Amino acid sequence: MTPRTADWPEPQMSIEEFEELARRAPEMVRLEFINGKVQVKAVPDGNHDEIVKWLQKMCMQFRPELWLYGERGLKVESYRSGRARPDGVLAPDDSFVGAGEWADPDRVLMVVEVTSHDHDAVRRDHVEKPDGYATARIPVYLLVDRDACSVTVHAEPENGVYRAVTTRPFGAVVELPDPVGITLETEKLKDYAE
């Protein structure tokens, strides 16, 4: 059993039980285990896919030695007790050779989430995911918020939180700090706003 602090609720199930559930879930269901709770991640729509594709192109153009892996399962949170499937995981080529369904995030430079139109997207993508990714010490968390037409860069993870958080509207120039080191011109994201 994973040690818990006083403010964390008891998990709904063990990590092993969750992984078995995720393995048996139908292909169209994407499960995550965040803050001890099983969460169903919405299936992406076309605009969501286009945003991820656009980011893949930008990463390839400026950092060809890296790849933006889609839907890569990661062990996150304290003691790697959570399981997340970011929309994108930026890491060096071959980072996940030999990894199972849920990989350690040690070589991950950035995770990307693109908001979906489901009832708990705000809580999940704006609160729970940043906390889990920061605790796992992932250097950069990029959130593309289609509802707010904004891009938020979380950086400098320390003690389970990102110390630097910057939000810019679609169309602005967005700096992804080291170790990513990419500048995004986000005008194209306006085409995918809803």
Host domain of residue 64: 44-192
Q: Does a structural domain hold residue 1?
A: no
What's the confidence (pLDDT) of residue 39?
Answer: 74
Asked if residue 89 is part of any domain, the answer here is yes
- Name residues whose C-beta falls within 8 Å of residue 85's C-beta, 6 or more positions apart in sequence: 30, 31, 32, 41, 71, 72, 73, 74
74 found inside a domain: yes
- Whole-structure pTM value: 0.82
100 lies in some domain: yes
The count of structural domains within the chain is 1
Bridge partners, residue 176, by sequence: 182
For residue 60, being part of any structural domain is answered with yes
Reply yes or no on whether the pLDDT at 3 is more than 50.
no
pLDDT of residue 141: 97
Query: Would residue 38 count as lying in a domain?
Result: no
Q: Is the confidence at residue 20, as pLDDT, over 60?
A: yes
CA dihedral sign of residues 8, 10, 36, 118: negative
Residues 55-103 have pLDDT tens digits of: 999 999 999 999 999 889 999 977 667 898 999 999 999 999 999 889 9
Strand partners, 34: 37
CATH code for the domain in which residue 61 is found:
3.90.1570.10
* Residue 126 covered by a domain: yes
**Is residue 29 situated within a structural domain?**
no
Tokens of 96: 């996940």
Pick 127 or 85 by higher pLDDT: 85
